[in-house]
Amino acid sequence: MKNRIRPPVKIDEKGRVIRHPGVRAHSWRLNIPASVTGLKKERKFFASESEAKTYAEGLLAARADAGQDIVKRLRARGMSVTEALEYALKHSPTKGSCTIENACLAYVASRKDDNRKPSYLDNLTSQFRQIEEEFGADAMVDTVKKKQIETFLKGLTGKDGDTPATPKSRINYIITLSALFNFAVEEGWRGENPAAKIRRPKRDEVLAAILVPKEVKQLLEEARKSSFADIFPAILIQMFAGTRRSEIPHIHWDWIRDQYLRLEKTKIRKKRAVDLSDALLEWLAPFRERSGPIFAPEGVTFDAMDTRGIENAYTYRLSQVAEAAKVTLPKNVLRHTAITYRDALTGDLAGTASWAGNSVKVIEEHYRGAATKADALQFYAIKP
């Protein structure tokens, strides 16, 4: 019987056919001929007779719609019609689709429920704004194709709107898009993630910009003046302990115990113990009787979940110190300086990575080789 499927039969626990109508089935078997699969005959098993019949009807309908040309194309790929149907069922939405705008809103809400930082949520919202503009806020989330995403990524530009976006920016968008579509799959709004197999561009290995010992000395000589007393200890801790700018608002004087700075609040939300060099301990000695936060700008309220006000105040004051000292400060240069000289002095990749709260790969790619051991010795020789 060409292009026909015989009715499903009852099967017992051992896979034998049950012929007596009064005996209950363990499962139902469907024999699908090669004329239907387009490749070879197959057997499928179902929990109920109705499931088996529904599957058979869907398979015959798909076979009729596909036509001989589709069957030939599937055969050329070594794929049967049943496999194609199962793939389609597996990768189709289970709960209906959703607009891109609503999917983005739902994803941001889920990240907020996960206690993500406001700065992360703001950045996510900003990226989604551009994604909605590209694909259409009212477009259904299951209509976006891999090719569309690749076209979007190629068209990304820098802040000036003309310069092509950096590989890092493109990677950031790939990460965001992949997370969004994974979320859509989990919610049943689409069957697969179109961004999962997008190739990430290679990033050039760039050594971190650091201050040479002469510049460090010049900066500290200016920072220790009374006009910068509010920020001087924070500069010292960034310069010699390698703390992140986002960690500065949380650091209190009682976190410094003996020769360690115990960071209770970090970027990756893991506590970190930072051993302090003799140079830093000497610099901090006059301040060790202090209490409270190491940097508390006037008129700025501390918010444990959103410290951007304090971070901005710190950045502004640091720029004033740099301008007075006539020293150029690239982004995050104090932290980069601390990490680079520690690695150059110790030669300990794993130890420096743990100390800085980074991965060994990051230390190796961006810090190793930016300074020599002789440079590091000069750096640690800078004392009050």
For residue range 27-74, what is the model confidence (pLDDT) as tens digits?
989 998 887 776 778 888 888 888 888 888 877 876 666 555 666 666
| Separation of alpha carbons 20 and 60, rounded Å | 28
Q: How confident is the model at residue 1 (pLDDT cuts 50, 70, 90)?
A: very low
CATH topology of domain 213-380: hpI Integrase; Chain A (1.10.443)
For residue range 177-220, what is the model confidence (pLDDT) as tens digits?
999 999 998 998 888 899 988 998 887 767 789 999 999 999 99
Domain ranges of the chain: 9-90, 100-186, 213-380
pLDDT at 70 (0 to 100): 65
pLDDT at 15 (0 to 100): 83
Average pLDDT, the chain: 87
**CB burial of residue 193 (10 Å; 0-12, 13-18, 19+):** buried
* Mean of pLDDT values over 269-296: 90
* Mean of pLDDT values over 133-158: 90
Share of the chain above pLDDT 90, in %: 50
Q: Among 25-29, 95-99, 127-131, 170-174, which stretch is predicted with the lowest mean pLDDT?
A: 95-99
pLDDT at 318 (0 to 100): 96
At residue 312, does pLDDT exceed 70? Answer: yes
Whether 164 contacts 157, CB under 8 Å: yes
Task: Tell me the pTM.
Answer: 0.63
